[in-house]
Amino acid sequence: MPFEDASHSMPDVAVTGLQWRPATLEDLDIWAALIARTAAVEHPAWFEKRGDLIHVLESSKNPAETSTLLGVDGDGVARAYGRIMKNPTGDKATGMACVDPEWQQRGIGSAVLAWQEAQVRARFQSDEAAGNTTAPPRLRIQTEEQHEHQAALLMGHGYGAVRWFNEMHRPLSAELPHARLDGGLELRNLDASLFEAVRLAHNDAFRDHWGSEPRDQESWRFTIEEPTARHDLSAVVIDGGTGEVAGYQLASFDPDAAADRGFTEGYTELLGVRRAYRGRGIAQALLADAMRRYSEAGMDVASLDVDSANPTGALELYLGMGYTPVNRSMTWERVLLVS
């Protein structure tokens, strides 16, 4: 069956007091303003900016017409939004949403969640009809531990926490670690000639990580072109004998976050080592190099996030290099019944 349009299970205007529609390029300013306004009250570790929303609207796998929802009041101010993301062959969908703090406790969050669930069911049915997946519809949503109102909403709708993640910081004022690479391995700056090789290395490195799916060229382009991405703070380890990418560290820096958080941080978005190269100190070398780059750029903290049950022992690695947990988040999941 074809994927249903976003008007399916659209929230009730009479109940919510909002007009609902898919997001468009014309909505970028009011959409980004809604997220920023909500973040100013809820203080998440990260939130979507205008550049991120442009990538959302450019996605071919998740067209905005069927994957985004914007609720606007009578004055044209965006008060709520939701969206879903799913790979055609994936066994789950993920959702994101927010409600203006002044419009919370009115049932709007529940209405957006109901729309997300309906769209996920339709997406799975469409993918199954195309022979791409036979998995039951499954929706995952991530929240930070501090946002208890979001947890209450999800638990009230039958979601359970299935995975925990730690945000970790490493002060750069302390002595920085030193790590040497084995012979035959070379650390290089990230540049455009390596983007595709790093994508392939990422898909190999993360194929045993919970919740990870292979990234195609479109999703990888969005990763590389993310508005806060800093290629000058990123690095790649190359096997000198084969030319293969053995590991990589992709970094970002958000100058706007410093005003809210009170410090500047170099953030390791992705750190991966291919299976065949694990146990050779590559991750340690990449992290040590990242700290040096961050420090030389005048930053206060090196930061990253890690799955608390990461199969590669990453949590212990980070603790050993001086990172400490400062914040927790969790992934919620619900398997959706199909009527």
Give the pLDDT score at 7: 52
- Cα separation, 247 vs 273, in Å, equals 4
Mean pLDDT of the chain: 94
Q: Are 213 and 90 in contact (CB under 8 A)?
A: yes
**Residue 33 reports pLDDT greater than 60:** yes
Q: Is the pLDDT of residue 298 over 70?
A: yes
Where is pLDDT greater, at 244 or 1? Answer: 244
Q: What is the mean pLDDT of residues 279-305?
A: 97
Please give the pLDDT value at position 8: 56
- Confidence band (pLDDT; 50, 70, 90) for 330? very high
Average pLDDT (204-231) is 94
Helices (H) and strands (E) in the chain, counts: 11, 12
As a whole number of angstroms, the distance between CA 274 and CA 282 comes to 10
Neighbours of 150 (CB within 10 A): 19
Residue 65 has pLDDT above 90, yes or no: yes
Judged against a pLDDT cut of 70, whether residue 244 lies above it is answered with yes
Is the predicted pLDDT of residue 213 greater than 80, yes or no? yes
Distances (CA, A) of 65 to 7, 21, 60, 109, 221: 9, 9, 11, 20, 21
Nearest to 68 by CA among 18, 114, 119, 105: 119
Query: Tokens 């992705």 correspond to what residue?
Result: 270
Instruction: Give Cβ neighbours of residue 32 (< 8 Å, ≥ 6 apart).
Output: 48, 49, 50, 53
Question: With contact defined as beta carbons under 8 Å apart, do 249 and 286 qualify?
Answer: yes
Give yes or no for a contact between 81 and 39, defined as CB atoms under 8 angstroms apart. Answer: no
β-bridge mates for residue 97, sequence order: 82
Closest by alpha carbon to 212, among 95, 68, 92, 330? 92
Task: Say how far apart CA 337 and CA 121 lie, in whole Å.
Answer: 8
Query: 324-335 and 138-144 as β-strands: parallel, antiparallel, unpaired?
Result: antiparallel
What the chain holds in terms of domains, given with CATH numbers, is 13-158 (3.40.630.30), 166-330 (3.40.630.30)
- Phi, psi values for residue 252, rounded to 5°: -140, 165
Question: Nearest to residue 17, comparing CAs of 63, 77, 87, 65?
Answer: 77
pLDDT for 2? 42
Residue 85 near residue 222 (C-beta atoms within 8 A): no
Confidence grade of residue 288 (pLDDT, cut at 50, 70, 90)? very high
Query: Over pLDDT 90: what percentage of the chain?
Result: 88
Instruction: Report pLDDT for 314.
Output: 85
- Counting Cα atoms < 13 Å in the Cβ hemisphere of 335 gives 3
- Tallying the residues shown for the chain, one arrives at 339
Q: How do residues 255-268 score in pLDDT, each as one tens digit?
A: 988 888 899 999 99
Mean pLDDT of 153-175: 97
Residue type, 81: Y
pLDDT higher than threshold 60 for residue 107: yes
Q: 235: closest CA among 218, 224, 248, 220? A: 248
Mean pLDDT across the stretch 70-95? 97
Q: Which two tokens stand for residue 92?
A: 């789950």
Coil, strand or helix: which one is 222?
helix
CB atoms within 10 A of CB 43: 13
- What's the pTM? 0.92
Q: For residues 162 and 145, what is the distance between their CA atoms, to the nearest angstrom?
A: 13
- Beta bridge partners, 20, equal 71
Cα gap 328→211, rounded to integer Å? 17
Name the pLDDT band for 338 (thresholds 50, 70, 90): confident
Query: In this predicted structure, what is the pLDDT of residue 311?
Result: 61
Contact between 28 and 50 (Cβ < 8 Å):
yes
Above 80 in pLDDT, residue 95? yes
